[in-house]
Amino acid sequence: MHITGRCHCGEVTYRAEVDENKVINCHCTDCQIISGAPFRTVVVSKPDAVTFTAAAPKEYIKIAESGNQRAQGFCANCGTALYATSVGEGERVYGLRLGAVEQADELIPKAHIWYRSHKPWLDNLNNMSAFETTPK
């Protein structure tokens, strides 16, 4: 599936080919901290199938306890988190952050990963009060 994406300020834009069957919610603690959110939803790109069409993103290299490195791409101006991918040579498969994908409504998550660290209240979402805007 062909998609496009952009950061909040619009300096970084991209187009990509993704596998619409690979949409996942990641509940790992690194995703919680880096996103500032309780979990992060990504769609997986085809290899080397992301093209940046305006400014280049900035990358932060995250080093896991295992020593494994992952590049975390974001807009250097507005800070929108855009993707994670491999470091170094070789083809790059991107985990694109769904919130910055313009076709996000068509991409439905199929699974949770790292669910052992999920926030327990996520099991209770349907029972929470819901408002159309911020209540006064």
Query: Which residues contribute to the site for Zn ion (CB under 5 A)?
Result: 7, 9, 11, 26, 28, 31, 75, 77-78
Q: Which of 97, 60, 55 is nearest to 80 (CA)?
A: 97
Residue with smaller CB distance to Zn ion, 56 or 108: 56
Residue with smaller CB distance to Zn ion, 16 or 31: 31
Smallest distance from the beta carbon of 132 to Zn ion, in angstroms?
A: 27
Residue with smaller CB distance to Zn ion, 72 or 129: 72
Smallest distance from the beta carbon of 131 to Zn ion, in angstroms?
A: 28
